[in-house]
Structure 1
Amino acid sequence: MSTMGKVIKCKAAIAWETGKPLCIEEIEVAPPKAHEVRVQIIATALCHTDAHPISPKFKEALFPVILGHEGAGIVESVGPGVTNFKPGDKVIPLYMPHCRKCKFCLNPLTNLCKKLSLVKNPIVDQELMQDKTSRFTCKGKPIYHFMGTSTFTQYTVVSDINLAKIDDDVNLERACLFGCGFSTGYGAAINTAKVTPGSTCAVFGLGGVGLSTIIGCKVAGASRIIAIDTNSEKFTKAKALGITECLNPRNFNKPIQEVIIEMTDGGVDFAFDCAGGPEAMRAALDCTTVGWGSCTLIGVNSEMAGLTISPVELIMGRTINGTCFGGWKSDSIPKLVTDYKNKKFDLDLLVTHTLPFDKINEAFDIMNQGKSLRIVLTF
């Protein structure tokens, strides 16, 4: 029996309040309205950004909410005015919208869209649909959306500008990584920093985003890639991706940036912070060479106050960049997925755990203990 135009009852993981485990609940998912798409989520991965709103230190989250922003699924139905998607299409929900009409979308220098360009915090500023209502209810109560995606549910509703269509033969248990982690790290190297052939790179933080950054550096032709992490157990994966050196700051009696500067005769060409803490950010900037060194900030610590930078550091030729979703517009995602199909890079190395969706709290525990890269949940 067709579900088109009807309310769907399904399972979802709801965060009812801060500091508490998620609860698997039966929810109602309303049909899509104009320019909206209802998607059956097949697989979703965990990202540390999903843990921010339920942290007691995070003050901006709205509850109750369905988290999740790194998923992949199949279009169940579309609302009026949707022309780019149809039932049965395989898709990836994207927290970075792309209206294709505003001055940002029409500018090749950014992947921002007007819908997000003026918001205070993209983590919490897509908590409702365009008409300021929710498509989720549970126990008679509206449930907030998250980052325009909400992938911790069997069915979700997203705006058609927050969606990318991909090839029908793609493995969705891997394609979900394109919703955030892989695209962010890989794009930071390819799009934001524009790593050059023969260059030297330093990557701080070897989680899923950091390893994806290493893949980007390797594909771009970097000749030397130095990986830095305080957990030496992560070096095995990094070595499999082609890094040249592994450094654990705890094994040295001097700041790690000084070690890197000595190793590279003055500093690396490109540095990436994928950890998000002030020490890693500081070290990433400091280890770049004067004259042309480029530091790209990828990791975000929601509790960090800021980073102090002296103008002299920039006057001497260093640059510091930030990247959001690796600089990709939604139109680029299908090509990225095709590159994966053509074995340009291997996503299997990034997935350390695959668990059923009802093990989501166990998955959060594993992630928070630093025992995973990417955990994929399947329905």
Structure 2
Amino acid sequence: MDTVIKCKAAVAWEPNKPLVIEEIEVAPPEANEIRIKIVATALCHTDLYHLLESMQPQGFPTVLGHEGAGIVESVGPGVSEYQQGDKVIPLFISQCRQCHFCKSPRSNQSRHDAMAPPTSRFTCKGKELLQFVGTSTFSEYTVVNEMAVAKIDPMAPLDKVCLLGCGICTGYGAAVNTAKVEPGSTCAVFGLGAVGMAAVMGCKAAGAKRIIGIDINPEKFEKAKVFGATDFVNPKDHDKPISQVLIEMTKWGVDFSLECVGNVSVMRSALESCVQGYGVSVIVGWTDLRDIAIRPNQLISGRTWKGSTFGGFKGRDAVPQMVKVYMDKKLMLDEFITHHMTLDQINDAIELMKQSKWYIHIPIQPPFRIYEQEYMPIFFFAPQYPDGAECCSRIRPL
């Protein structure tokens, strides 16, 4: 369709200010673009990080959101893989399938940054709104480049599989793809938020024998058992470095550690918790505010330090597979849901995230029209952790 659509969106006009529910205009898709009716979305810590912590005024005004699912409303010229009515998940990492990185089995990066600034299809009150990481799912409609869209099973429940747009794939894939957790191994997951719980789930799927969850909130431990954690450590219960605690628990250190907090001190602890010679530590949590300080001998002694984005998944190829694994009841998503709120309460949800001791996603449920039928989409949010930071190769079912 070549018409401009007016719809509701949660607009971030400036840093560190409440979001505002506005009527915005969404332009038609241009060449190789898709306009999507967002049915379900999720707020993860990266959205809050951009809003509250990064303090980058050049990134505003914007429409946040990057963990969503919806239905194709229209396509631009040159689009052949998608058509009106397809169920899709927008992706914050493109997969053009043509560049050096997309063709390499060693990376899920792409040389193309779809819908990057200054590209935008949003306006409000005569001003252009920036699109956030190419997706901007806190809007009833969004426009995404076809390189950053995964077409999924038409029977998939969008209010559940939207979680695969970021957090669940990020944690799960960090274990099975990036760390390559081995059967019978011992793993440590730092931070038992949504991403950390998904990492625990990935460790279990990969066959880990012992999975140690580390968090300063013991209320999370019981739920972590559901995803596969076997042991727990609360750093507040110890007067020694957590790395030393883990070494004493395991005799030599863990085989694999996954840092799901986004805190440079925790990143260092996660590395130092690994066994010398072959231990692997993966940085999953996001931050760009501070540098990491580490003694070179921690790496010279044989440990491996790796980073992971979106769990190493090539989104267009892997996300449909992950949806299938969920549909086959071999992947948990429903267990990540705790709260229901309305879109008008989005700022209350943000405050709840900042203060919450919960570990998982908070749904937000604004009714709006889709194809002339009333539909009740669910909006999910992953809570921020007490310290202020969020504590396609192989797909292995649980």
Task: Give the TM interval when normalised to the shorter protein.
Answer: over 0.9
* 1:109 and 2:106 correspond: yes
Measure, in 1, the Cα distance between the counterparts of 2:56 and 2:24.
26
Aligned match of 1:253 in 220, 239, 250? 239
Partner of 1:325: 310
The 3-state SS of whatever aligns with 2:102 is: coil
Cα distance, 1:179 vs structure 2: 0.6
- Maintained 8 Å contact 1:291/1:317: yes
Cα distance, 1:301 vs structure 2: 2.5
**TM alignment of 1:358-377, pairs within 5 A:** 358-372=344-358, 373-377=360-364
Partner of 2:388: none
Q: State the 4+ residue runs in structure 1 displaced beyond 6 angstroms.
A: none
**TM alignment of 1:71-220, pairs within 5 A:** 71-116=68-113, 126-128=115-117, 132-220=118-206
Unaligned stretches of 5+ residues in structure 1: 117-124
Cα distance, 1:174 vs structure 2: 1.0
**TM alignment of 1:39-54, pairs within 5 A:** 39-54=36-51
The 3-state SS of whatever aligns with 2:173 is: helix
Measure, in 1, the Cα distance between the counterparts of 2:129 and 2:95.
24
Supply the AA of the counterpart residue of 1:311. P
Supply the AA of the counterpart residue of 1:365. E
Cα distance, 1:69 vs structure 2: 0.3
CA deviation map 1:41-81 (0-9, x unaligned): 00111101001222255336521100000000000000000
* 1:227 and 2:213 correspond: yes
Cα distance, 1:279 vs structure 2: 2.2
Supply the AA of the counterpart residue of 1:48. H
Measure, in 2, the Cα distance between the counterparts of 1:168 and 1:56.
38
Cα distance, 1:233 vs structure 2: 1.1
Partner of 1:121: none
Partner of 2:321: 335
Measure, in 1, the Cα distance between the counterparts of 2:165 and 2:205.
20
Deviates more, 1:290-299 or 1:59-68: 59-68
Supply the AA of the counterpart residue of 2:303. R
The 3-state SS of whatever aligns with 1:376 is: coil
Cα distance, 1:127 vs structure 2: 4.3
Cα distance, 1:184 vs structure 2: 0.3
Structure 1 pair 266–77 and aligned structure 2 pair: CA distance change class (3 A) = same
Aligned match of 1:266 in 252, 258, 277? 252
* 1:63 and 2:57 correspond: no
Unaligned stretches of 5+ residues in structure 2: 367-398
- Maintained 8 Å contact 1:58/1:302: no
* 1:378 and 2:360 correspond: no
Supply the AA of the counterpart residue of 2:291. G
Structure 1 pair 58–223 and aligned structure 2 pair: CA distance change class (3 A) = same
Q: How many residues were matched structurally?
A: 364
Measure, in 1, the Cα distance between the counterparts of 2:30 and 2:54.
35
- Maintained 8 Å contact 2:198/2:227: no
C-alpha RMSD of the superposition: 1.3
Partner of 2:382: none
The 3-state SS of whatever aligns with 2:112 is: helix
Measure, in 2, the Cα distance between the counterparts of 1:314 and 1:323.
18
Measure, in 2, the Cα distance between the counterparts of 1:210 and 1:172.
22
TM-score, normalised relative to structure 1: 0.93
Supply the AA of the counterpart residue of 1:378. Q
The 3-state SS of whatever aligns with 2:131 is: coil
Supply the AA of the counterpart residue of 2:21. I
Give the % identical residues.
53
Measure, in 2, the Cα distance between the counterparts of 1:264 and 1:224.
10
Cα distance, 1:350 vs structure 2: 1.4
Supply the AA of the counterpart residue of 1:175. V
Deviates more, 1:355-364 or 1:195-204: 355-364
Measure, in 1, the Cα distance between the counterparts of 2:95 and 2:314.
7
The 3-state SS of whatever aligns with 1:280 is: helix
Structure 1 pair 349–215 and aligned structure 2 pair: CA distance change class (3 A) = same
Partner of 1:119: none
Measure, in 2, the Cα distance between the counterparts of 1:237 and 1:61.
39
Supply the AA of the counterpart residue of 1:374. H
Structure 1 pair 57–142 and aligned structure 2 pair: CA distance change class (3 A) = closer
Aligned match of 1:29 in 26, 31, 41? 26
Supply the AA of the counterpart residue of 1:103. H
Measure, in 2, the Cα distance between the counterparts of 1:210 and 1:171.
23
* 1:311 and 2:289 correspond: no
* 1:16 and 2:13 correspond: yes
Supply the AA of the counterpart residue of 1:366. L
Structure 1 pair 60–311 and aligned structure 2 pair: CA distance change class (3 A) = farther
Measure, in 2, the Cα distance between the counterparts of 1:173 and 1:53.
24
TM-score, normalised relative to structure 2: 0.89
Structure 1 pair 98–326 and aligned structure 2 pair: CA distance change class (3 A) = same
Measure, in 1, the Cα distance between the counterparts of 2:365 and 2:101.
35
Cα distance, 1:311 vs structure 2: 2.4
- Maintained 8 Å contact 2:15/2:56: no
Supply the AA of the counterpart residue of 1:223. K
